[in-house]
Amino acid sequence: MPQISAKPYESTLRLPFDTQGLAEIAYRVLSVDKEPRRNFVQKTLSLELDVLVVHFYADQVKNLRTAISSFFEALLLCQDTIKQFGNAVAVEPAEAQEENNAGAQSSTDSA
């Protein structure tokens, strides 16, 4: 883990997904890649039901910006993949229906 000064620059992103299942997929996909060591940025991901919460700490504003913008690129790609292929389960309509319902349910709960 990089050393961050006592007064870090911070940023928190809260990213809601259609369902808790999809939020979990995004959480797992985006948790794999660590920040490059010389970036001096710490990134932590967590899940609050259907909301993906990402927290950044950085020693410099510039590094914070770099980390966030590359995170957004990965996030958008993951989201687009979900959009295009997430309903591929539509081949088995019953299952897809169920999953959507479950997702809708949990997001209501969290709201």
- The binding site for other proteins (CB under 8 A) comprises 25-26, 28-34, 73-74, 76-78, 80-82, 84-86, 88-89, 91-92
Residue matched to tokens 């809260």: 14
Hey, what are 11's tokens? Answer: 């940023």
Smallest separation, CB 7 to other proteins (Å): 30
Query: What distance in Å separates the CA atoms of residue 35 and residue 49, rounded to the nearest whole number?
Result: 25
Nearer to other proteins, 25 or 49 (CB): 25
Q: Where are the beta strands (DSSP E) in the chain?
A: 9-16, 41-48, 51-58
Smallest separation, CB 104 to other proteins (Å): 18
Nearer to other proteins, 36 or 110 (CB): 36
Nearer to other proteins, 7 or 73 (CB): 73
Smallest separation, CB 76 to other proteins (Å): 8
- What is the SS3 assignment for 19? coil
Smallest separation, CB 25 to other proteins (Å): 4
| Helices 20-31 and 93-110, axial angle in degrees (round to 10) | 90
Nearer to other proteins, 91 or 111 (CB): 91
Q: Nearest 5 degrees, angle CA 84-CA 27-CA 85?
A: 10
